[in-house]
Amino acid sequence: MQGVLVLDGLHKQFGSLVAVDEISLTVEPGEVLGFLGPNGAGKSTTMKMAAGFLEPDRGTSSICGEDVAVSPKAARRQLGYLPEGAPSYGEMAVRGFLDFCAEIRGLSGGQRSRAIDNAIERTELQSVTEQTIETLSKGFRRRVGLAQAILHDPGVLILDEPTDGLDPNQKHQVRQLIADMSKDRAIIISTHILEEVDAVCSRAIIIDKGRVVADGTAQELRKLMPGRRKASLEDVFRHVTSLEEVAA
Ligand SMILES: Nc1ncnc2c1ncn2[C@@H]1O[C@H](COP(=O)(O)OP(=O)(O)OP(=O)(O)O)[C@@H](O)[C@H]1O
Ligand SMILES: [Mg+2]
């Protein structure tokens, strides 16, 4: 089945703070959507709700037609999710952790070992398979998170800053992996690296204070800068997002 992700009116408030304000978007099969925005804009909160790991105040997320709140099992079968930060279960060795994830995913026998080997290979974890996760460097831990996200070959990938902390070689490798996986899948990645939009995303959305403020291809976004022939995505980002207000 072709992967598709549909968010409809997602809203989340923490006390008086509106973290995510009516976000709707669709990621079609074959698309890699870049999810951009300043620190605290609401990217991770949106992605947690999209993945069914945080309950929204209102709005829905559906993965390959399955609502994450109504049919969480069916939705998660088609979902690979890389949360912010390091994977839990730091005391487990890499292969043991992936084996555990594969078991939860219902994979068994030859299918299970093939899936694990494939994920290890694609994220270049061969040299650390017996090392415990908590003793790995930051970039390797990130790649373990990525390996568990792609393990079961899901139709939809929600990746929260997948290249955060990776060295230039690994950044390149992971972007290549995302590009390879994008055929027939719907992928959303958050990032602060604007060059990543040109490198791997077919479209980007910029959010600010929980709201979508720009949506388009990199080329369309650059046109949002009035009167500038050679605007960079960084110019556009600064133009559409607001700096933190300084209290008088
Ligand atoms: N559990 C929570 N309780 C209270 N406030 C929260 C909670 N989770 C997130 N927030 C707040 O919601 C806002 C959005 O946070 P979020 O983590 O979604 O931002 P982000 O766009 O991912 O930022 P970053 O680029 O720094 O990762 C922030 O102001 C954050 O402090
Ligand atoms: Mg975040």
Amino acid at position 126, single letter: Q
225/73: higher pLDDT: 73
pLDDT of residue 1: 57
- Residue 12's DSSP bridge partners are 20
Closest C-alpha to ligand 1, atom 6 = 14
Q: Identify whether residues 228 and 173 lie together within a single domain.
A: yes
186-209 average pLDDT score: 96
Ligand nearest to C-alpha 45:
1
Q: Best of 44, 159, 160, 213 to mutate for ligand 1, by most ligand atoms within 8 A of CB?
A: 44
Instruction: Mark which of 133, 153, 173 sits at the end of a domain.
Output: 153
Cβ of 37 below 6 Å from ligand 1: yes
Atom of ligand 1 nearest to the CA of 192: 25
CATH code of the domain containing 202: 3.40.50.300
Q: Identify whether residues 22 and 33 lie together within a single domain.
A: yes
Closest C-alpha to ligand 1, atom 29 = 40
Closest C-alpha to ligand 1, atom 1 = 14
Q: Identify whether residues 54 and 95 lie together within a single domain.
A: no
Q: Best of 10, 14, 16, 244 to mutate for ligand 1, by most ligand atoms within 8 A of CB?
A: 14
Cβ of 191 below 6 Å from ligand 1: no
Query: DSSP letter string over 24-80?
Result: EEEE-TT-EEEEE--TTSSHHHHHHHHHTSS--SEEEEEETTEETTTSHHHHHHTEE
Q: Identify whether residues 114 and 55 lie together within a single domain.
A: no
Residue 245's pLDDT band (cuts 50, 70, 90): low
Q: Identify whether residues 146 and 162 lie together within a single domain.
A: no
Mean of the per-residue pLDDT values of the chain = 93
**CA 42 / ligand 2 centre spacing (Å):** 7
Q: pLDDT tens digits for 10-27?
A: 999 999 999 999 999 999
* 109: Cβ contacts below 8 Å, ≥ 6 apart: none
**CA 44 / ligand 2 centre spacing (Å):** 4
Calculate what percentage of the chain has a pLDDT beyond 70. 97
Lowest average pLDDT, out of 78-82, 159-163, 224-228, 233-237, goes to: 224-228
Calculate what percentage of the chain has a pLDDT beyond 90. 84
| Distance from C-alpha of 62 to C-alpha of 56, rounded to nearest angstrom | 13
Closest C-alpha to ligand 1, atom 27 = 39
Q: pLDDT tens digits for 57-98?
A: 999 999 999 999 999 999 999 999 999 987 778 899 999 999
pLDDT for residue 49 is more than 80: yes
Q: Identify whether residues 71 and 190 lie together within a single domain.
A: yes
Residue 185's pLDDT band (cuts 50, 70, 90): very high
Q: Identify whether residues 24 and 140 lie together within a single domain.
A: no
Q: Identify whether residues 124 and 202 lie together within a single domain.
A: no
Range of the domain at 168: 1-78+155-248
Q: Identify whether residues 46 and 135 lie together within a single domain.
A: no
Q: Identify whether residues 214 and 134 lie together within a single domain.
A: no
211-236 average pLDDT score: 88
8 A C-beta contact, residue 38 and residue 214: no
pLDDT of residue 11: 98
Closest of 2, 7, 3, 12 to residue 62, by C-alpha: 7
Instruction: Mark which of 101, 136, 153 sits at the end of a domain.
Output: 153
Instruction: Mark which of 132, 153, 174 sits at the end of a domain.
Output: 153
Q: Identify whether residues 7 and 119 lie together within a single domain.
A: no
Q: How many domains is the chain built from?
A: 2
| Distance from C-alpha of 151 to C-alpha of 86, rounded to nearest angstrom | 17
Cβ of 210 below 6 Å from ligand 1: no
pLDDT of residue 9: 98
**CA 43 / ligand 1 centre spacing (Å):** 8
pLDDT of residue 243: 66
Helix 138-150 and helix 94-104, axial crossing angle in degrees, nearest 10: 30
pLDDT for residue 228 is more than 80: no
**CA 61 / ligand 1 centre spacing (Å):** 19
**CA 139 / ligand 2 centre spacing (Å):** 17
Q: Identify whether residues 163 and 242 lie together within a single domain.
A: yes
Q: pLDDT tens digits for 112-171?
A: 999 999 999 999 999 999 999 999 998 899 999 999 999 999 999 999 999 998 999 989
Closest C-alpha to ligand 1, atom 3 = 14
Closest C-alpha to ligand 1, atom 25 = 39
